[in-house]
Structure 1
């Protein structure tokens, strides 16, 4: 399956395309909670959750006192904008 153009809002992507996109970026799907994904890079790790109206990212141990730092992105943003924001890290 090919992905829509990067400037396409995420809400115009079929779910299999979003899942393919996340896999291509190195994310691993939670086998019990299929809407949850995990990624670990050399500098940070995060859980990505596909909510009803937005994509939520929780950077683990990235906040003050090693707390989690969460950000939400509405599906009306383009895939390219979400990718740039999420995968640049906390």
Structure 2
């Protein structure tokens, strides 16, 4: 099962496709909380949460900064959300 075109809104992705997309980004699913995913990058970590109406991302910078929380509606395209997520805090 391949992913829809990158311009496709997230709400048009079945859950297995969203999960595969998150794995392709390098996320690991939290075993205790299946709707949460963890992403480790060079200078920050993030927890992504597949909520009812939006994707919520909590960034945890490695430097002494406070966490940053962002949310993205599922009506946004996969490519736009991916670019925003990987941009970091």
Query: Which TM bucket (shorter chain)?
Result: over 0.9
Match of 2:11, SS state, is: helix
CA shift digits 1:26-72 (9 cap, x unpaired): 00000010000000111211000000000000001479x53210000
Q: Separation in 2 of the partners of 1:62 and 1:50?
A: 23
Partner of 2:41: 41
Uncovered stretches (5+) of structure 2, i.e. residues with no partner: none
Match of 1:18, SS state, is: helix
Q: Give TM-score scaled by structure 1 length.
A: 0.93
| 1:75-86 correspondence runs (5 A) | 75-86=74-85
Q: Which aligned runs of 4 or more in structure 1 are off by greater than 4 angstroms?
A: none
Q: Separation in 2 of the partners of 1:61 and 1:32?
A: 23
The aligned length equals: 89
Match of 1:37, SS state, is: strand
Partner of 2:32: 32
Backbone CA RMSD of aligned residues: 1.4
Partner of 1:10: 10
Q: Separation in 1 of the partners of 2:88 and 2:62?
A: 9
After TM superposition, give the deviation of residue 18 of structure 1 in Å. Answer: 0.3
